[in-house]
């Protein structure tokens, strides 16, 4: 992913940011942007994502956290990509535990069981590792991410998905908070139920071998742009379970080993 140069002009980046953000805000599908811009680079893709972020902030939205995506080997092979990616979380993405997600505001949402880290010290790559992350973590809490690629049929390549804010759309946090010292994060089990039926199970190691490795990778990827993770940042690590498609009317419950449960409903 080390391509320091962009091939798109600033105005092309702005146009693509508007195009993808409109698709998100108005919930319509688009074709993947690399079809029309095959020469775009990873630098261009991140520039588009950061332009979408700038647009939201200019409109008064707050950025409330970061997320990692495509962090499991299973997910990377399922999606045909070879590297994880990151995205940002805006204030209106947040849904409380037990809350309702409005299905009509989304295109083809799927849910994933994750964990979230909240930092108490800054993290800056390159060279950030699991030990740095554990030392900088205030606490861990359960989270479910609602992903919703703006691309037709959820089909994309890595550059297209990065530009699309890594399919971010909504997230739910809940359960209990815990110190990292009190958890066995690698073996921490997760059980996802939809409408009362177990649909997926997994353990923390599904995410890059250890959940903290995902946060370290985020710090290192941001470091490539000269950015850091400030203290107090909420970070979702990526899916521990497979992504499960949900329909209007579905309810879900995710149980976490030593971290309680989290529920929500699609209306």
Partner 1 sequence: MDKELIMQCGDELYEALSGRRTLRPFTERFSDISIEDAYHISLRMVERRVVAGERIIGKKIGVTSKVVQNMLNVHQPDFGYLTDKMAYSQGQEVPISELLIQPKAEGEIAFILKKDLIGPGITNADVLAATECVMPCFEIVDSRIEDWQIKIQDTVADNASCGLFVLGDRAVDPRKVDLTTCGMVVEKNGSIISTGAGAAALGSPVNCVTWLANRLGEFGIPLKAGEVILSGSLVPLEPVKAGDYMSVSIGGMGSASVRFV
Tell me which residues touch partner 1 (CB under 8 A).
Answer: 73, 184, 186-191, 198, 201-206, 209, 240, 255-258
CB of 200 to partner 1, least distance (A): 9
Of the candidates 237, 62, 267, the residue with the CA atom closest to the CA atom of residue 143: 237
CB of 183 to partner 1, least distance (A): 9
Say if CB 83 and CB 221 are below 8 A apart: no
Distances (CA, A) of 119 to 37, 123, 195, 213, 256: 37, 8, 33, 14, 20
If the CB atoms of residues 18 and 205 are measured against partner 1, the closer one turns out to be 205
DSSP E strands, the chain = 63-69, 85-90, 94-95, 99-101, 110-119, 137-147, 168-173, 189-194, 197-203, 234-236, 244-245, 251-256, 260-266
Q: How far apart are the C-alpha atoms of 212 and 115, rounded to whole Å?
A: 10
In this structure, what token pair is assigned to residue 103?
Answer: 């299905």
CB of 126 to partner 1, least distance (A): 24
What does the DSSP assignment read for 17-29? HHHHHHHHHHT--
CB of 191 to partner 1, least distance (A): 4
CB of 241 to partner 1, least distance (A): 9
Q: How far apart are the C-alpha atoms of 138 and 33, rounded to whole Å?
A: 38
Say if CB 21 and CB 51 are below 8 A apart: no
If the CB atoms of residues 84 and 87 are measured against partner 1, the closer one turns out to be 84
If the CB atoms of residues 152 and 186 are measured against partner 1, the closer one turns out to be 186
If the CB atoms of residues 94 and 203 are measured against partner 1, the closer one turns out to be 203
CB of 166 to partner 1, least distance (A): 22
If the CB atoms of residues 202 and 238 are measured against partner 1, the closer one turns out to be 202
If the CB atoms of residues 30 and 113 are measured against partner 1, the closer one turns out to be 113
């Amino acid at each position: 992913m080390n391509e320091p140069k962009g091939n798109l002009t600033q105005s092309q980046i702005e146009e693509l940011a508007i195009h993808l953000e409109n698709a998100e805000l108005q919930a319509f599908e688009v074709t993947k942007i690399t079809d029309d811009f095959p020469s775009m680079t990873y630098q261009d893709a991140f520039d588009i994502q950061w332009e979408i972020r700038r647009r939201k902030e200019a409109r008064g939205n707050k950025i409330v956290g970061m997320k990692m995506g495509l962090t499991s080997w299973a997910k990377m092979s399922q999606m045909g990509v070879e590297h994880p990616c990151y995205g940002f979380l805006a204030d209106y993405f947040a849904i409380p535990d037990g809350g309702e997600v409005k299905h009509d505001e989304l295109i083809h949402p799927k849910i994933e069981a994750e964990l979230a880290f909240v930092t108490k010290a800054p993290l800056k790559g390159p060279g950030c590792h699991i030990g740095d992350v554990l030392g900088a973590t205030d606490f861990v809490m359960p989270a479910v991410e609602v992903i919703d690629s703006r691309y037709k049929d959820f089909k994309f390549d890595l550059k297209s998905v990065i530009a699309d804010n890594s399919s971010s759309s909504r997230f739910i946090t809940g359960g209990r908070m815990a110190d990292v010292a009190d958890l066995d994060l690698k073996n921490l089990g997760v059980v996802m139920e939809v409408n009362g039926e177990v649909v997926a199970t997994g353990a923390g190691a599904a995410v890059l071998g250890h959940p903290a490795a995902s946060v370290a990778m985020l710090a290192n990827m941001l470091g490539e742009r000269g950015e850091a993770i400030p203290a107090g940042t909420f970070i979702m690590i990526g899916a521990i379970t497979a992504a499960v498609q949900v329909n209007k009317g579905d309810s879900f419950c995710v149980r976490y080993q030593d971290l309680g449960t989290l529920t929500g409903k699609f209306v």
